[in-house]
Structure 1
């Protein structure tokens, strides 16, 4: 029997992306975000959720997509992102959230290596749901790839 994994599917710039449901803590409506001085451009700032603080990442900027204003459909997805030997709470801003869906693991293909629209170093693979493709994030690589978006100013780290 084929192994099916549950993914939260979300929309960004007309494409469907997937995040393993085991990493999803909760989904929030868009809310005000407290800015952080000298943060990389994809790091919008911080929010408080029931006494816990979370850094908020704009997935559009992280993926080199044009920034757009938030809409009624914009969501913040609070995730447990694997970083080293621990999980770190991070919020991702997505254009919209579709659903939780099962994807057959045997049908997930490696990202294409022919270049194209997406950098494949932060993708775990490409899954299919019906006739549609779901681009599956590798959260650890997405958050550690370069640390910053190309073209963004790099701040010196405090010693």
Structure 2
């Protein structure tokens, strides 16, 4: 792959949830795993599918479709877990994000990205960094640090053995 020609290029990993394409900054993505069995943890929020063992570490796995009000992710040959690092109150937390499929790594220039739409007060949009456009397809660029509130992650971290809450 050719090296980016300047610091204005922004690389994103694109993935699908239902028929929508979402993107995460490549700097937040550690790796992409094939779907593996997830151990369910009692008394966690609905979007928390459970935990996986990632080279000896306990990593919580969240269903991005449930988090965004869609139907639960069903396992297919393309279902994958995107391992991301999120920054929560100064602490780095590793999380698995369940997605229908990963598409590609994409370069988007700043002029290809519009601000997140302002949709009244009922819908939270602060976790949308912007709307990218490629051909005729919109790409919802997520700010993964803002998708989950600190309360949600604290509740997840507090209920999963081996996953500590930020100090």
Same fold (TM over 0.5): yes
> Alpha-carbon deviations, 1:72-108, whole Å to 9, x = none?
0000000011111121100000000000010112331
Which consecutive residues of structure 2, in runs of 5 or more, have no partner in the other structure? 1-5, 160-167
> Alpha-carbon deviations, 1:100-148, whole Å to 9, x = none?
0101123311111236xx7423211101123221101111110117739
2:13 corresponding residue in structure 1: 8
2:75 aligned with 1:102: no
**Conserved in 2, the CA contact under 8 Å of 1:3 and 1:106?**
no
1:71 corresponding residue in structure 2: 76
Q: Which of the residues 84, 90, 96 maps onto 1:91? A: 96
2:35 aligned with 1:41: no
Q: Which of the residues 51, 54, 61 maps onto 2:56? A: 51
- How does the TM-score come out when normalised to structure 1? 0.85
**Conserved in 1, the CA contact under 8 Å of 2:9 and 2:108?**
yes
Which consecutive residues of structure 1, in runs of 5 or more, have no partner in the other structure? 149-153
SS at match of 2:15: strand
1:62 corresponding residue in structure 2: 67
2:21 aligned with 1:22: no
Q: Which runs of 4+ in 1 moved over 2 A?
A: 145-148
RMSD: 2.3
Count of matched residue positions in the alignment of Structure 1 and Structure 2: 150
**Conserved in 2, the CA contact under 8 Å of 1:2 and 1:104?**
no
1:123 corresponding residue in structure 2: 128
